[in-house]
Amino acid sequence: MTSVSSAGPDLLRCMSAIDELAIAVNQQRDLPRLLEQIARTACDLLGYESAAVLLVDDDRAALRIEGSWGLSEGYVRLVNEESPLLLVPEGTFAGSPSRRSFVDGVPVIVEDIAHDPSYGPWAKAAQEHGHHSMAAVPLRNQGETVGTMNVYGSDPRRLGPGGLELLQVLASHAGIALETSAQLERDRRRVRELSALNELLRQHAAIHDRFIGVARRGGGISDIAAALAETADRAVAVQDVSGQTLAAVPRAGVSVRPPDWLSWPRQEGGVSLLDLLAQASPVLRSDAFPGLLAGPVRLGEETLGVLWLAGDAEDDDVRLRAIEQATVVLGLEMLRRRAVVDAQWQLRGDLVSELASGPLADPEAVLARGDRLGSDLRLPQRVLAVRHEEAGEAVTTQLLRLTQSLVLSRPRPKPLLALRDGAIVIVAPAADPEGAEELARRIRTVGIQTLEGGVRVAVSETCAGPDRLPGAFRQVTGLLRLLPYATGEDVLTVASAGVIGMLLADVDPQRMGVLAARWIGPLREYDQRRGTDLVSTLRTYLAHDLNTNATAEALFVHPNTVGLRVKRIESLLGVSLTSVGDLTTLRTALAIDDITRT
Q: Provide the pLDDT for residue 510.
A: 58
Nearest CA-CA partner of 516 in 598, 586, 580: 586
Q: Which range, 182-196, 372-386, 434-448, has the best average confidence (pLDDT)?
A: 372-386
The CATH architecture annotation of domain 509-596 reads Orthogonal Bundle (1.10)
Q: Provide the pLDDT for residue 267.
A: 47
Nearest CA-CA partner of 201 in 324, 323, 318: 318
The full DSSP string for 433-444 is: TTHHHHHHHHHH
Domain spans of the chain?
3-186, 220-337, 358-506, 509-596
CB atoms within 10 A of CB 316: 9
Cα separation, 494 vs 195, whole angstroms: 71
- pTM comes to 0.51
Q: Is the peptide bond before 282 cis (omega within 30 degrees of 0)?
A: yes
Residue-wise pLDDT for 492-533, tens only, equals: 888 887 767 776 766 565 556 666 777 788 888 998 998 889
Cα separation, 32 vs 29, whole angstroms: 9
Query: What is the dihedral sign for C-alpha 235, 240, 242, 247?
Result: negative
Q: What is the mean pLDDT of residues 364-388?
A: 88
CATH number of 358-506: 3.30.70.270
Q: Which of 4-13, 119-128, 189-198, 416-425 has the lowest mean pLDDT?
A: 4-13
Q: Provide the pLDDT for residue 92.
A: 43
Q: Is the distance from CB of 131 to CB of 50 less than 8 angstroms?
A: yes
Residue-wise pLDDT for 160-179, tens only, equals: 888 888 888 888 877 777 77
Confidence class for position 352, pLDDT limits 50, 70, 90:
confident
Confidence class for position 152, pLDDT limits 50, 70, 90:
very high
Q: Which of 114-123, 129-138, 301-310 has the lowest mean pLDDT?
A: 114-123
Q: What is the mean pLDDT of residues 241-269?
A: 80
The full DSSP string for 26-92 is: HTT--HHHHHHHHHHHHHHHH--SEEEEEEE-TTSSEEEEEEEES--HHHHHIIIIIS-EESS-SSS
Q: Is 80 exceeded by the pLDDT of residue 30? A: no
Q: Which superfamily, per CATH, for 220-337? A: GAF domain (3.30.450.40)
CB atoms within 10 A of CB 554: 16
CB atoms within 10 A of CB 243: 23
Q: Provide the pLDDT for residue 7.
A: 45
Residue-wise pLDDT for 451-492, tens only, equals: 776 889 999 988 888 888 888 888 888 888 878 788 888 888
Instruction: Please tell me if the domain spanning 3-186 has the same topology as the one spanning 220-337.
Output: yes
Q: Which of 28-37, 78-87, 216-225 has the lowest mean pLDDT?
A: 28-37
Average pLDDT, the chain: 82
Q: Provide the pLDDT for residue 270.
A: 60
Decide yes or no: CATH 3.20.20.140 for domain 3-186. Answer: no
Amino acid at 42: A
